[in-house]
Structure 1
Amino acid sequence: MKFKTKLTISLFTIALAFTSCNTEDASDSTENASAAANQNVSTSKVGVCSEVPGWASQNGGTTGGGTSAETTVTNYTELKSAIENTSVKVIKVSGTITVSARLSFQNQTGKTIYGTSGAKIVSTNQTKDGSGIIYFKGCKNIIIRNLIFEGPGAYDTDGWDNATLDNCQNVWVDHCEFRDGVDGNFDIKNKSDYVTVSYTKFTYLKAPKAGGPGGSDDHRYSNLIGSSDSATGDRGTFRITFARCWWASGCKERMPRVRFGKIHIINSYFNSSASNKCIAAGFEADIKVENNLFENVKTPIDLMTGLTAVTVTSGNVFTNTTGNIAGKNTSFTPPYTIPTLAASAVKADISAGAGATFAGNTCGSF
């Protein structure tokens, strides 16, 4: 497939190493990274579905439902039925679907759920028991692509996230947007492993509701990895890549907040002026922070008690930030290779490419 992109000179060497992924003539590589940083030019490509980036490429890879026949859904009843039917391998979401009860996506293997252009799954419920959009549990080899998950806004009722992975393995979340979750936008817990989140946007567009019984008046806490320091069964899991993601307007904390695991955060963009802290390294967290852009945020790196290691590479850029930007100890080395932008090119790339920006189930590669 032809890629709809222009590569920068600074990425030309990387492009040569991935010539099988790119059919464009080298003469198109004429813009430098500093020029790209001032334009809405994305290096996100229409790619080959086998080119899964990051941790989801390991442990046998992640293919989802592949080229299986699609089932199109346009309302809650159809969506619930398609999710629960193990024979349905590819779900195509069209239009806006408001959930009347949280969806349970359990014990499924080899399945894709994706949206057409502008497709949204919405919850308007802020109660403890009724909140949340979708809960993935005990699933393997799942792809979630080109969908907007929209909650009613943050409210600390000890409620549910827009989406949660619970004991799931080999999951690729690609070109999605998670906004305005009640408890969080997208959490990962309970031995989930081999997960890649790519070109995905996290944001809060609605004002937080104060006075919740959970105790926080502003619970715009986007992404939690690991539910408790005492959940020691999570050791050896939570191998997760966040590549070319965007923690945008309204995010206050947990971008992400990590316990255990080996977390690779690469070529992502943090620019929420509402931030209190961004990446939070908690108990036994092992995090590699590589070539990201932090802009107008507070405490880009929060070193909490009991962490294992946080490596903040020299390729990160911190613009008008306050608070800690240093790491501690030496983090893990990822077992995969992944094309890497200079941080100077991240803003333009992410601004143009992150979120549900595709027309459907188009695979995105780098």
Structure 2
Amino acid sequence: MKLFFIVSFLFMYLPALTLAGCEDSAEGFAALNGGTTGGNGGTVVTVTNQADLERYARSSGKYVIKVSGRINISPKGTEIDVASDKTIIGVGAAAEISGGGFRIINRRNVIIRNLRIGNTNGGEELDWDGIQADTSTNIWIDHCIFENVGDGGIDMRKDSDYWTVSNTWIKGVNKAFGIGWTENIVTKATIHHVYFDGTNQRNPSAGGMLYAHLYNNYLRGCGSYGHYIRGATNGRVENVYFEDCKNPLQADPESTLTAVGNVFDGSSGVISGDIGVSFDPADFYSYKLNPTSDVPRIVLKHAGPKADVCS
């Protein structure tokens, strides 16, 4: 009988205990500049409503904020301010921020993982984004899904630097993922294993970036264009699978582009060739490329929220 209660306790609380100890690290540029650790080592809290989410997200100090269930945001389109040294992570695959998103403005060291974010349809003219970051550093977005978003799914803007977006699903969003809104060429970012699913534009639109590393992404059904290396961006695009995309790979004449191992399945229109020789990401960090033929299977399996994303 005693053993029964011990086993029952473990089954009830193991997910929470596992999540509390979730201190995974990002790959890519988010791992540099001191690393992106979010609220690791800080206070662990669980939130089920908007008031508590806002309270802890804006607090000073380190917090791991576990989102349980669906949080309905009011008024619609509200973007919750996130302070430095925060991890916001969904408990299980059903954790959701509905009717709003997040703002990361002049902050450092933020992780957002394992969340459904969206249901802000109709807010394009009101700039209702899933996640908007301005002038911030060391951000990791991982295992999220953006769906029914009013404006941009993800907007990384105004010199935001040292960030990684990984294992994320952007579904049916018009302006999927925008980067730039700055004349400075400082941004260094990694985008890998991201599923652009029936999106239209900004897949991403990588403008004004010192280094843009895009690898092992899966783009299916792009309506306007796929990966776009804009302006003076120095970009490397590796082992990306483009399926039924219009203008799957574009680059402006003033950009630098090295494109290696990409597949253009049923895609048509602009497919830019190399322009100069891009930077080598291996000079900055270690990473492992999946074979391009395996990318759809791998991305479909892993992108978006999961029961437990902690390794």
TM-score using structure 1 length: 0.73
Distance 1:51 1:82, change over 3 A: closer
Residue 222 of structure 1: SS of its match in structure 2? strand
Runs of 4+ in 1 over 6 A off after TM superposition: none
What is the Cα deviation at residue 48 of structure 1?
Answer: 8.2
Superposed CA deviations along residues 164-210 of structure 1, whole A, max 9, x for unmatched, are: 011111111111111222111011011110001110111127xxxxx
Aligned residue in 2 for 1:235: 185
Matched, 1:119 2:73: no
Q: What residue identity is the alignment partner of 2:270?
A: N
Q: Could you tell me which residue of structure 2 aligns to residue 210 of structure 1?
A: none
Q: 1:128: which partner in 2?
A: none
1:284 maps to: 232
Give the residue type in structure 1 aligned to 2:189.
Answer: I
Q: Give the direction of change, closer, same or farther, for the CA distance of 1:156–1:110 in structure 2 (3 Å limit).
A: closer
Of 329, 333, 342 in structure 1, the residue corresponding to residue 276 of structure 2 is 329
Q: Is 2:285 the counterpart of 1:307? A: no
Matches of 2:188 and 2:122, distance apart in 1 = 27
**Alignment of 1:89 onto 2:57:** no
Unaligned runs of 5+ in 1: 1-46, 124-131, 206-219
Q: 1:143 aligns with which of 101, 111, 117?
A: 111
Counterpart Cα distance in 2 of 1:241 and 1:225: 12
Q: CA deviation at 1:49?
A: 3.8
Given that residues 82 and 88 in structure 1 are in contact (C-alpha distance below 8 angstroms), is that contact kept between their aligned partners in structure 2? no
Question: Is the Cα–Cα contact under 8 Å of residues 216 and 292 in structure 2 kept in the other structure?
Answer: yes
TM-score (norm 2): 0.86
Q: Which amino acid aligns with 2:98?
A: V
Tell me how far 1:86 sits from its aligned partner. Answer: 1.5
- Please report how far the alpha carbon of residue 143 of structure 1 lies from its aligned counterpart in structure 2 after TM superposition: 1.0
1:223 aligns to what SS in structure 2?
Answer: strand
CA contact (8 A) 1:80 1:103 kept: no
Q: Percent identity?
A: 30
* Cα distance in 2 for residues equivalent to 1:189 and 1:353: 27
CA apart distance, 1:303: 2.5
Structure 2 counterpart of 1:246, from 170, 182, 195: 195
Deviation at 1:67, TM superposition (A): 3.6
User: Contact 1:148–1:178 (CA<8 Å) still a contact in 2?
Assistant: yes
Matches within 5 A, 1:214-229: 220-227=174-181
Pairing 1:53–2:53 present: no
**Distance (whole Å) between structure 2 residues aligned to residue 264 and residue 154 of structure 1:** 32
1:295 aligns with 2:243: yes
1:74 aligns with 2:48: yes
The root-mean-square deviation of aligned C-alpha atoms, in Å, is 2.0
* Whole-angstrom CA distance in 2 between matches of 1:122 and 1:347: 28
* Residues 1:202 and 2:153 aligned together: no
Q: Does 1:268 align with 2:230?
A: no
Does the Cα contact within 8 Å between 1:285 and 1:309 map onto a contact in 2? yes
Summarize the Cα distance change of 1:358–1:265 in structure 2 as closer, same or farther, 3 Å threshold. Answer: farther
Deviations 1:12-40 (A, max 9, x none): xxxxxxxxxxxxxxxxxxxxxxxxxxxxx
| Secondary structure, counterpart of 2:152 in structure 1 | coil
Q: Which residue in 2 is equivalent to 1:159?
A: 127
Per the TM alignment, residue 155 of structure 1 is displaced from its structure 2 partner at its CA by: 5.2
Query: What runs of 5+ residues in structure 2 fail to find an aligned partner?
Result: 1-20
| Number of matched pairs | 284
Counterpart residue number, 2:84: 109
Other structure's SS at 2:56 match: helix
Residues 25 and 36 of structure 2 are in contact (CA less than 8 Å); yes or no, is this contact kept in structure 1?
no
CA contact (8 A) 1:175 1:358 kept: no
Give the CA deviation at 1:88.
Answer: 5.3
User: Alpha-carbon deviations, 1:219-267, whole Å to 9, x = none?
Assistant: x11111012xxx32x322x211011111013x00101002111111101
